[in-house]
Amino acid sequence: MQIKAVSRAAPNALSVEGRPTDARGTAWGVWQLANPDHAVRCTLIALLALAIFLLQYQFRSWDDNRLTSWQWVFADANLAVLFLQICAALLVAYLLAGSAIRALDRPLTLFLASGAAAVLLWREPEVIVDSARYFAQAKHIEQYGIVYFFREWGGAIPAWTDLPLIPFLFGLALKLFGESRYVIQGLTTLLFSATVVVTYLIGRQMWSHTLGLSAGMLLLAMPYLLTQAPLTMTDVPTMFFLSLAVLATIHGLRKGGSANLLLAASAIVLAMLAKYSTWLMLTVIPVIVLVEFRRQGISAFQRGLGIAAWTVALWAPILLWRYELFAHQLIFLQEYQYPALYRWSEGYLSTLLFQLHPFIALAAMVSLVTAVINRDPKYLIIGWMLFLVAVLEIKRIRYTIIVFPMLALMAAYGLESITDRMARRFTLLAAIASSLVIAVFGHLAFLKTTSAVNLQRAGSYLSTVDQQWIEVYTLPQVHSVINPAVSVPILDLYTDKPIVYRRNAGLGNQSVPPDVARSPLRFTWELPDWRFFDESQITAYSDRAIVVILSDPRQTVPASVARALTGFTLTKEFYEQSGVFRYRTFVQIYQPMKSI
């Protein structure tokens, strides 16, 4: 490699990893950019990245993702503009790859860069209706306190198949910083960035700083994951807690000590409280113990037993607290959720070649061969969760997000085969640059055309009106089996005005659709009458604006709603739609005539 020649000429100018340590670093960076070998290799990588994008675009009909399929996202895209944007992004990636700025190789830079990437997607609307459930659960803490939340979890606060940790964190953040979507987005972005750093630390613990750094960076080369970071969902926070459990266990087994073993057990329990899917993935813990046994002998088993003992001690009171609820949820998951995985699926081809940058899949495949050749038992730790996903045929991308850090570590392991540091850095940055263009100018642009954006825009508008209260009516969904009442908490998330919901007035005699029993949207019909939307809070004389949420602009307003609109005039309408999804939320806003 050319770096060796530089090292011989100036032995004190480079660190052990070939990074500049003095003022000559700038000249070294310029030399990298101008070096013919580097230029040729990076040109080939850039051409490959561009060719991959063109192939993805050409075969976008193969993408069966249910939210950001390329066949929807780029249906009306200007290919020439997108191509030029990716070319510009690759040029920036090339300049950064040749840069001698040492800060680029630091965990803090990873943390800040991942946070900035997520913030770019904050304008995205809440496109997944499950966010209504999580926000409503969290709002109970803000409204009634922490004690009420834990006392009523699974009772007055329906738990569905959820566990309490993530809604609790959302609610705590709302209570501390005020009810705003930005508060939740700040928290989920923080946990996303923390996951990037934890992934780096896992890679560093098991292999090297360079591999860990590559793994953390590769989480930014996953466009779908970037779209999930700003949402009021549990997937990204769960990803963090599962990754933290893996890191804490490795650290505890290697360092020992009661404090480290307790921290590992605490991280495991937190992961168990995040989502039921982590219970399956936490079977990686015995794998970690076995791998560490090869490294350090019987002490690994002794420390593993210590972690297990602490975990049981911490989990036992939680299990006793809600044993019947947990048992009911597990039965429900077995009878309803698990069989539904085969109905609510997306192909691995969609996930690996469209929703993540294909460089990741390619590098992961290389890593399998490399690990076998190296006979590296540590690879079992990062491969175990992906093995479970493949064996159990878990194809819904939302359910596999939690294992993305392990996939990033696999890909980083494969990228270590590229011995040219400049070429390896450019491969990483090229994947990130392309993914950011796709996430911002593709996924975000598309999601902002869906009808979910109407609730976002309506909420912002309602925050500016003079009326004190917002009275909401929902009309039946014409094209979807979703209960329209689920849109009310989402609207509430976007506005700072108090909302009352006239549940029965708009829906009339609408009944639960017969085919919803086995639908993933069944939970929308099992929502309670939330106390904080109780219509008894408002009288006919209250100063209020009226919101009507409908699914078709031509829908007939029921007589009860028409009577409520007497003395009000239509002041604002939001009718944006992509035409892709059957569930649509159009919004009409009415204000008193005397206030206009």
CA–chain centroid gap for 127, Å, is 13
135 & 76 share domain: no
465 and 584 in a common domain: yes
* pLDDT, tens only, 293-304: 998 899 999 999
Residues 219, 363, single domain; the answer is yes
pLDDT of residue 74: 96
Within a 10 A sphere around the Cβ of 521, how many other Cβ atoms? Answer: 16
Q: What is the pLDDT of residues 210-231, one digit of tens each?
A: 999 999 999 999 999 999 999 9
DSSP 496: S
Q: 422 in a domain, yes or no? A: no
pLDDT at 496: 93
Contact predicate 564/473, CB 8 Å: yes
Describe the chain by its helix, strand, coil percentages, rounded to 5: 65, 5, 30
Q: Which of 131, 124, 71 has the alpha carbon at shortest distance from 346?
A: 71
pLDDT at 133 over 80: yes
Q: In total, how many domains does the chain have?
A: 3
Question: Would you tell me the crossing angle of helices 36-58 and 421-438 to the nearest 10 degrees?
Answer: 30
Look at residues 100, 135, 154 and tell me which one is the last residue of a structural domain: 100
What is the pLDDT, as a whole number, of residue 512? Answer: 73
Residues 586 and 466 both lie in one domain: yes
Residue 43 belongs to a domain: yes
Does pLDDT of 439 surpass 80?
yes
Q: Does residue 251 fall inside a structural domain?
A: yes
- Classified as helix, coil or strand, 590 is strand
- How big is the chain by its Cα radius of gyration, in Å? 26
pLDDT at 12 over 60: no
The answer as to whether 92 is a domain residue is yes
- Domain boundary (100, 124, 157) is at 100
Is the pLDDT confidence value at 9 over 70?
no
> How far does Cα 222 stand from its chain's mean position?
10
Please provide residue 476's backbone torsions phi and psi, each rounded to the nearest 5 degrees: -60, 150
* Judgement on whether residues 355 and 473 belong to the same structural domain of the protein: no
Listed in sequence order, the residues at least 6 apart from 397 whose beta carbon sits closer than 8 Å to its beta carbon are: 65, 224, 346, 350, 351, 355
Kindly state whether residues 273 and 401 are assigned to the same domain.
yes
Cα dihedral sign, 108-114-120-126: negative
Same domain? For 62 and 115 the reply is no
Q: Is the pTM of this model over 0.85?
A: yes
Query: Can you read off the two tokens belonging to residue 469?
Result: 């209260």
Is 589 found in the same domain as 476? yes
Residues 76 and 223 in one domain: no
For residue 149 the two structure tokens come to 């939340």
Mean pLDDT over each residue of the chain, to the nearest integer:
90
Please report the pLDDT score of residue 55 as a whole number. 97
Judged against a pLDDT cut of 90, whether residue 261 lies above it is answered with: yes
Q: Are residues 145 and 266 in the same domain?
A: yes
125 and 272 belong to one structural domain: yes
Task: Quickly state the pLDDT bin for 500 (edges 50, 70, 90).
Answer: very high
Last residue of a domain, one of 35, 65, 100: 100
pLDDT of residue 529: 78
CA torsion through residues 416, 421, 424, 425, sign: positive
The answer to whether residue 495 sits within a structural domain is yes
Residue 509 has pLDDT above 60, yes or no: no
pLDDT confidence bin for 503, thresholds 50/70/90: confident
Domain with 263, as residue range(s), is 104-417
The amino acid sitting at 560 is: S
> Which tokens belong to 285?
């813990």
Please check whether residue 306 lies inside any domain of the structure: yes
Four-residue CA torsion sign, 288, 289, 293, 295: positive
pLDDT band at 4 (very low <50, low <70, confident <90, very high): very low
On whether residue 446 sits in a domain, the answer given is no
Q: pLDDT-derived band of residue 595, with 50, 70 and 90 as boundaries?
A: low
Name the CA dihedral angle for 155, 127, 199, 374, rounded to a multiple of 10 degrees.
110
Is residue 429, in this structure, part of any structural domain at all? Answer: no
Mean pLDDT of 548-558: 92
Whole-number percent of the chain with pLDDT over 70 = 90
Average pLDDT over residues 13-38: 51
pLDDT at 89 over 70: yes
- Determine the pLDDT at residue 540: 65
pLDDT above 60 (res 8) = no
Whether 361 and 236 map to the same domain: the answer is yes
